[in-house]
Chain A
Amino acid sequence: MKPYHISIDGQAVPYQPGQTIMEAATAAGIYIPHLCHNPEFKPHGSCKLCTVKVNGRSAAACTMPAGEGQEIQNNTPELNATRRAITRMLFVEGNHICPGCEKTGNCQLQAVGYYVGMLDTHYPHFFPTRRVDASHPDVMLDLDRCIVCELCVRASRDVDGKNVFGLAGRGLQTRLVVNSASGLLKDTDFSAGDKAAQVCPVGAILIKRKGYEVPIGERIFDHHTIGEVSLEHDQAVLGADHG
């Protein structure tokens, strides 16, 4: 078979037709920052953190198919500055008070912040007033921290076959809703063992009675960058797919 290649930051990267830029990069051990993407699910392309330049034009690496002749820029000061801006916006659009959040140290949003060198949030904070749904016996939903990545929506629909979650509204009004007449999690067949309960990249979906189980200093991102952690996870998933 004729080998196909794209170029990422000057490095030749092989790909198979049908693969996205993200998939080809991951297989080659190149980390492209991402939050709404997880190779276990169909790409969603909403967070725009994975924006790269493809022959000079911006594109989301998680949805853009790899193709012949693509000269891609990924790890450049300019793109990383854009990613820093996006990460800051995600922070100010929610209520991310890390010292009071159980996910801290294991949170992908936080880890992306570290990765892109975010030391402050820069923009005025929205401090939105959002719902906390603690009705379910085993799982807690704090929409203050939801970044509307739709991972729980995809996991519940495609893996659990339950359709517990959905997104409602548009633009800034987009929000996560629960599919029950009351809108409460307790009135769904959601369970802590569901895939959807495990995929949230931030502290919006938390399993109860597990908070702060791992001491500070031993949490995932205390010692590993999201680049390392993500590549390891994503490569394992892709490997499993192909094998």
Chain B
Amino acid sequence: MANKLKVATTSLAGCFGCHMSLLDIDERLLDLCEVAEFDRSPLTDIKHCSETVDIGLIEGGLCNAENVHTLREFRKHCRILVGVGACALNGGIPALRNHIPLQECLEEAYLHGVGVEDAQVPNDPELPLLLSKVHPIHEVVKVDYFLPGCPPSADVFWKFLTDVAAGKEPELPYELVHYD
């Protein structure tokens, strides 16, 4: 194939489970590398996208200002942006904090939590500011495709990427669609 698909991946507020699931496609990774090459990704340790990337897979929701910045930058470089996993789609488990005022969350974690010593709320200029709620990514940028799941299975990644590589409209059969 003359031009390989450029695939970038990144993570926002998530647990990295979606990336683990991508790796779970196991030896099929070799087949994938025939048609695709990885650009920016924790897997390659490349920190920024090339000017144009064909497919951007993004896991995790938005819990702080840096997540929003990363998402916007990622979107700018990706021809097709794919929201991956429950956190990207609806905030996922991190969004369980949305019930609780941010101040209370921080106080519980850093001041009053069981076993906390030398209690203080971290306050370093290097730390990105937290958003008052965790948000899914479609509330900030346009997302072209969604792969639901917590995480989506390796077969979901495989089906999606091979469909795109074959120039087909990606489609997931019933057994592959799960919100959990």
CA A153 – CA B79 in complex, angstroms? 49
**Is the pair B90, A125 in contact by a Cβ cutoff of 8 Å?**
yes
A96 touches B (CB below 8 Å)? yes
In the complex, which residues 88-122 of chain A have their Cβ closer than 8 Å to any Cβ of chain B?
A: 91, 95-101, 104-105, 110, 113-114, 119-122
Classify chain B: how many residues form its interface, as a range: 20 to 34
**Is the pair A120, B148 in contact by a Cβ cutoff of 8 Å?**
yes
Output the nearest chain A residue to B88 by Cβ-Cβ distance. A120
CA A91 – CA B95 in complex, angstroms? 14
**Is the pair B139, A124 in contact by a Cβ cutoff of 8 Å?**
yes
**Is the pair B93, A121 in contact by a Cβ cutoff of 8 Å?**
no
Q: Which of B90, B93, B96 is A91 in contact with, Cβ under 8 Å?
A: B90
CA A100 – CA B90 in complex, angstroms? 12
B99 touches A (CB below 8 Å)? yes
Point out the residues of chain A lying under 8 angstroms from B90, CB to CB: 91, 96-97, 121, 125
CA A232 – CA B150 in complex, angstroms? 29
B111 touches A (CB below 8 Å)? no
CA A97 – CA B93 in complex, angstroms? 7
Point out the residues of chain A lying under 8 angstroms from B148, CB to CB: 119-120
Number of interface residues of A (CB under 8 A): 26
A129 touches B (CB below 8 Å)? yes
Q: Which of A98, A122, A124, A129 is B179 in contact with, Cβ under 8 Å?
A: A98
B 140-180 to A, binary, CB cutoff 8 A, 1 in contact else 0: 00010111101000000000000000000000101101011
B52 touches A (CB below 8 Å)? no
CA A129 – CA B96 in complex, angstroms? 11
**Is the pair A119, B146 in contact by a Cβ cutoff of 8 Å?**
yes
Q: Which of B98, B138, B145, B150 is A98 in contact with, Cβ under 8 Å?
A: B150
Point out the residues of chain B lying under 8 angstroms from A222, CB to CB: 175
CA A100 – CA B180 in complex, angstroms? 8
A127 touches B (CB below 8 Å)? yes
CA A99 – CA B172 in complex, angstroms? 20
Point out the residues of chain B lying under 8 angstroms from A225, CB to CB: 174
* B52 vs chain A, min Cβ distance (A): 24
**Is the pair B135, A99 in contact by a Cβ cutoff of 8 Å?**
no
**Is the pair A99, B136 in contact by a Cβ cutoff of 8 Å?**
no
With A114-B177, A120-B146 known as contacts, the answer to whether A97 contacts B96 (CB < 8 A) is yes
A-B contact pairs, 13 of them (CB 8 A): A95-B99, A96-B179, A97-B90, A98-B86, A99-B93, A99-B150, A99-B179, A100-B96, A119-B145, A120-B143, A127-B133, A144-B99, A222-B175
Chain A residues at the B interface, C-beta cutoff of 8 Å = 91, 95-101, 104-105, 110, 113-114, 119-122, 124-125, 127, 129, 144, 216, 222-223, 225
Chain B residues at the A interface, C-beta cutoff of 8 Å = 83, 86, 89-93, 95-96, 98-99, 133, 135-136, 138-139, 143, 145-148, 150, 172, 174-175, 177, 179-180
In addition to A119-B147, A125-B90, 15 A-B residue pairs with Cβ atoms within 8 Å of each other are: A91-B90, A95-B98, A97-B91, A98-B179, A99-B86, A105-B180, A119-B145, A120-B89, A120-B146, A121-B138, A125-B95, A127-B95, A127-B99, A129-B99, A223-B175
3 smallest beta-carbon distances between A and B, as pairs: A99-B150, A98-B179, A120-B146
